[in-house]
Chains A and B, each alone.
Chain A
């Protein structure tokens, strides 16, 4: 009897206590979940559930917990039971896609390691499972060091095979992927990712996983009190740290935007995005805002060292204004001074001055062959010359093809990575490998995330006998788009050549997945 009595008293106390502090215990669970604190949510929720699992509160909490922990079938079952009790959770929470997520995740397979759970579609996406686990494992270590701690709970990463399934599960509007370029989310204590296969030539999906994980950690560390600008600044700047890239992850495009802003003094006013990035006018403005906040964090870290970050997060968690916390941590009296210092510091950075554009996001086989090129996507007139060049190139007339590719270039617009890659291929066909390599090097420097450039570079370097460099290029191509059998074959050959048998075996495994349609992972 005693334990029951104690439990009953405990529950009574909890209920009364909660009633004093909050409207209801379920609100408290909700707050824990908002703060990505699953342990907290369980601490309260489990008591509610065990006392009367059929009660509306218990069912509601169970549905939330199941949904946050990636048990979608259970969540939907709880919702159905709630309906029988006259509660329509889906109507109450129209922004939470309970049932769509269940649909989107249908048929996915799971891979687990040390509390991490990665789910992906069967088939080619089996390649992602292992690498995603590696990425998260490494990220947990690195970001625990940088932020002082990471959530101790298990973590679910869902990799949706298509952009449409991702949007279904994310609750975002259908067009959001192509209009805003959102391919991943950290939400509901989980990470949601679009498979790189859904994008026309892949993308830096591992850094994206890391980026979203940072959001999750920062939310947890600050009890979800970090403003968007700080969230994005931290995530953008630190997203490559998991793999040891500490250069801040500024793309060439971001650098060109910043360089222009430094030159003209036309930064995006901080007030415009201090609360939300949604108020920005255009994609270019959003990109500049991201570059600004990312470099602000970089400025902070480079000024005071990595150790400054846990303190900032603690202060934000304790309710200190994020701008003030950052300024103080960086040694400035206020944020204005910090901002002025940052602008001065920016002026000293070696930024790419060339006018560039971001690679358009093209998903699920959408758009024409030029849709993923920043120049050609918006210029059908130039794309026409490129197509003519392609036809000439395919007909074995590389010299003529180059003429058409030259016509397709617009000196007033951003350089086209596709044209650079195509021209390099033509020069390669004409036997001018040096010129070809110079072109792809230029392209990779500007658009390292353009897979075709990396592949062309790998091929050219292989042909030149520069195996180690080729492996780097092939590896970069693999990181963007691991579904190309030619890339896997080249990596197997390359790693064998440089004596890395383990890596060679790993890529041979990926090649096998591609050869068997994922039936033999």
Chain B
């Protein structure tokens, strides 16, 4: 059904009303915009012309008010009116007079109620309505609701916009800048873009450049803040970099410029603090542009490095030593960084042949960008051997977003592997093992009769038994040190024992074999007893020295523990009078722990101090039990009273221990002083003895005795004798354990070595006659050793028997020793010829010098006692210095006798011999002192290490700084890892490392 005329009229009017509203809205908006743009342009113009920002703000605010206020008011007022049907009908009636109010009537009829409508003639009304509809609907909407006003408003807006654009183009501060000023910005900030403002050549100093990288999502990296940079930007493309910086002088505006690109917005707070951001697109530079007054300024240029994916950066700690002992932790610290995250860290070991192998150090489960660690493994654990020279590099690989992994490596470190030295706790344990191995050996050697048998079979059986007895010690030594020599005291003493026992066994096997020398003589048994005695002595020295070192370590531990107990005693004394049971018990528990350390140290300590401490500790412990009992019984007053007593006891004990330590230190110092003095006295004695000999020689020279020639000959004799002794000893060493040698060959080489040493002694004593006699006695060993080494090379051997390992070396050494001895023989004969009787005046001088020699002898006697006293006081003293002094005394006696007889040549020889022996005594003492010092220092180092070990860390080795921290990948699950960390956190560390430990664990747990 089609709508009636009335409906058509109403619908038409409604459409017309809607159009009116639209036009109104457009008009109002355009007016507002025009006013606003005009205001902004005016503000920009005003600011550009130098108006104060505040006036600019006022102007702009007024414009905004004008733009928004009246239009809004009009809108509110007119909105309903423009859509009113009656008004619209009236407007159409005005446009079409022929309607003659029919349209108004129809519209009003539509608004009547049913009751009102009942009094109106329907037929008439409908006819009028139809007529009105026909006329009104023919009126076009543009005519009924014209858009003129809206158009005008639009033109005004256009005009204002034009004005704004013109102001923006023509003036430094455009309408938008003006808006920025209103929002708090500086008008100058806008001026920074004004290229007409001249640029200063002066560069602005920018500081505190903090960069915040917001990486592109493909990197998977978290934002990274890098404070206090030099302004350089390193980031992959697409990274947004937020820059925060500061300048010293205040500026009015700032902008950011990348390369020569357009200036970008940057904000300036308080004239000094800059905030800006840029997006990394490639390599280049960036800078700030500042404006102040009528000048613009540039900051320095900062680089932008676009990092597509850099290789990891690896560095290692400074490696102090170029060598490491086989059993010494490497102690190489490393750190690795990568932009996208690290994959694996490994150690590359390249040997001298260029072969490289890799030991994985870390393979983190996540991809950390930064990793640090250390190589604690020993060369032995890394599969290296003594003498290896290797190059080490720490290598890291990264985990790139795409493509293959990149590799970064540290600078190479060259390392030579030294013999093992062992250290700290291991060495302490090893020493105890050595002592435990040496004691039964010593007991066996001491308990058996010497000789252990009378017949060859018995002696051979004994040798077998003795060899078996030595095996555990040799095995222990080999396990610890391999076949390389070591400077450690433990290694030295065992090596000495093995060396001495090797000599004994070789002698026994060769002497009682029946092959080498036929029937055994009394001298053989004497030699056996001497060699046996030497073994015992080496065992005794070894046990005593190692035990002394253990004692010294224990003493240091005791002192440390005593100090802690003293501190605990002070704590006890400071316990408040009203301390409750829990406080008392806590204090006791603390004390108990310290006492345990003290007891441990005291248990290792022999002697009065150990007993004293034990007695004091028993008393203290008993008293502690009583305190606990009193606390348990609720008798707190009694407990407090007993605590006072306890505190007093402990302080007393600590005082005494400290006193004793001080006393011991003083004793050591006194020994040191005595040693120093005796060394100095020996030096003076030696010098005086040599001077006296020189006096005699000078007289002989003056008298024309051909002394120079003789002295030259003696010097040559010295060289030859030393060579013969050294070469024959080398031959003996080359025989080794005798494997593959005939016993006869070993015997002859042994006799050669022994005889050559005797010859050297005679030459050193300037005993030409004795030297010749000894060489004569060596004729058979010289001949037989040469022939037997030759035979060893050519003789047929039983199946399975290999020729001696170093036969060539032994042969060469024998040949050289024999040659030196023959040459020496000729030389000594020549000397004997030359030593003619001295002229009478020389004889006379010799007699005169006898008195001075007697005085020297007297000095030697006094000094001899002092040498003996000092040597005895040294734990490393072996009596050799005293022996040398005895020899010196005897030589002085011989010299005195010779001088009294007027025999200058032998007198001088004996004098020089005496001086040599005094020098020997000094050397012996020096060696003993050095050995003692080494033992003490080693023990001292261990004592300190032991104290530190108790605190849970190791010091003194390159690995000391490395804490034992677990790597996450070593654990199956994160829970397991966290548990391990928590366990680790419970451990004690030295106070100074406490904070470090806490931080480290916190950091790890956060990972």
- Interface on A for B, CB 8 Å cutoff? 107, 121-124, 161-162, 164, 197, 200, 362, 364-372, 379-381, 384-385, 387-388, 390-392, 395, 397, 399-400, 403-404, 483, 485, 514-520
Contact = CB atoms under 8 A, between A and B. Distances in A.
Contacts of B622: 514-519
Given A123-B623, A365-B609, A483-B615, A400 B442 contact: yes
Contact of A518 (B440, B623, B655): B623
B613 interface: yes
B947 to A, nearest CB: 21
A514 B873 CA distance: 37
A483 B611 CA distance: 11
B443 A397 contact: yes
Contacts of B649: 122-123, 517
Interface of B: 435-436, 439-440, 442-444, 446-447, 540, 543-544, 547, 606-613, 615, 618-627, 642, 644-646, 648-649, 652, 655-657, 659-660, 663, 871-875, 877, 879
B940 to A, nearest CB: 18
Contact of B660 (A366, A400, A403, A518): A366
Contacts of B540: 384-385, 388, 404
Task: Specify the main secondary structure of chain A where it touches its partner.
Answer: loop
Contacts of A520: 626
B642 A519 contact: yes
22 contacts: A107-B648, A162-B656, A364-B659, A367-B608, A369-B607, A381-B879, A384-B544, A387-B547, A390-B606, A392-B446, A395-B440, A397-B443, A397-B447, A399-B446, A400-B443, A514-B618, A515-B622, A517-B624, A517-B626, A519-B622, A519-B623, A520-B626
A381 B623 contact: no
Given A123-B619, A161-B652, A381 B446 contact: no
B570 to A, nearest CB: 15
Nearest to A382: B872
A403 B447 contact: yes
A387 B652 CA distance: 29
A308 B547 CA distance: 59
Given A123-B619, A388-B544, A517-B623, A400 B446 contact: yes
B645 A362 contact: no
Contacts of B874: 380
A362 B607 CA distance: 11
A90 B784 CA distance: 89
B609 A164 contact: no
Contacts of B875: 380, 384
Contact of B873 (A362, A380, A390): A380
Given A364-B659, A365-B613, A365-B657, A517 B608 contact: no
B639 to A, nearest CB: 10
Contact of A381 (B610, B625, B652, B877): B877
Given A388-B543, A514-B618, A369 B442 contact: no
B339 to A, nearest CB: 64
A374 B147 CA distance: 135
Contacts of B447: 397, 399-400, 403
A91 B261 CA distance: 93
B435, B642, B659, B874 — which one has the most chain A CB atoms within 10 A of its CB?
B659
Contacts of A368: 606-608
Nearest to B646: A517
A200 B612 contact: yes
B872 A371 contact: no
Given A124-B619, A197-B615, A403-B447, A366 B663 contact: yes
Contacts of A197: 615
A517 B620 contact: yes
Contacts of A391: 435, 439, 543, 547
Contacts of A397: 439-440, 443, 447
B625 A395 contact: no
A122 B447 CA distance: 49
Contacts of A400: 442-444, 446-447
A403 B450 CA distance: 13
A397 B440 CA distance: 8
Given A395-B443, A399-B446, A518-B619, 13 more contacts: A107-B648, A162-B656, A365-B608, A369-B606, A371-B607, A380-B873, A384-B544, A385-B540, A395-B436, A403-B446, A404-B540, A517-B624, A517-B626
Given A380-B873, A384-B544, A519-B626, A395 B619 contact: no
Contacts of A485: 618
A389 to B, nearest CB: 10
A397 B645 CA distance: 43
A380 B544 CA distance: 12
B811 to A, nearest CB: 42
Contacts of A366: 608-609, 659-660, 663
A256 B620 CA distance: 42
Contacts of A514: 618-619, 622
Given A122-B648, A387-B547, A391-B543, A369 B608 contact: yes
B547 to A, nearest CB: 6
Contacts of A380: 872-875, 877
A517 B663 contact: no
Contact of B655 (A164, A369, A403, A404): A164
A518 B644 CA distance: 13
A123 B645 contact: yes
A365 B660 contact: yes
Nearest to B444: A400
A121 B872 CA distance: 40
A395 B877 CA distance: 25
A123 B618 CA distance: 11
Given A200-B612, A395-B439, A516-B623, A122 B645 contact: yes
Given A123-B649, A516-B625, A362 B446 contact: no
B626 A200 contact: no
A384 B876 CA distance: 10
A410 to B, nearest CB: 12
B851 to A, nearest CB: 32
A113 B875 CA distance: 52
Nearest to A108: B648
Contacts of A364: 612, 656, 659-660
Contacts of A362: 608
Nearest to A197: B615
A68 B886 CA distance: 60
A365 B625 contact: no
Contacts of B871: 381
Contacts of A390: 606
Contacts of B610: 369
A365 B626 contact: no
B626 A387 contact: no
Contacts of B620: 517
Contact of A517 (B435, B625, B879): B625
A162 B879 CA distance: 38
B608 A371 contact: yes
Of B646, B649, B663, the most chain A CB neighbours within 10 A belong to: B649
Contacts of B657: 365
A162 B654 CA distance: 12
Nearest to B622: A517
Nearest to A364: B656
A399 B447 CA distance: 7
A516 B626 contact: yes
Contacts of B645: 107, 122-123, 518-519
A485 B611 CA distance: 13
A239 to B, nearest CB: 26
A308 to B, nearest CB: 44
Contacts of A399: 443, 446-447
A372 B608 contact: yes
A107 B447 CA distance: 54
Given A124-B619, A364-B656, A366-B609, A379 B439 contact: no
B711 to A, nearest CB: 40
Contacts of A385: 540
Contacts of A161: 652
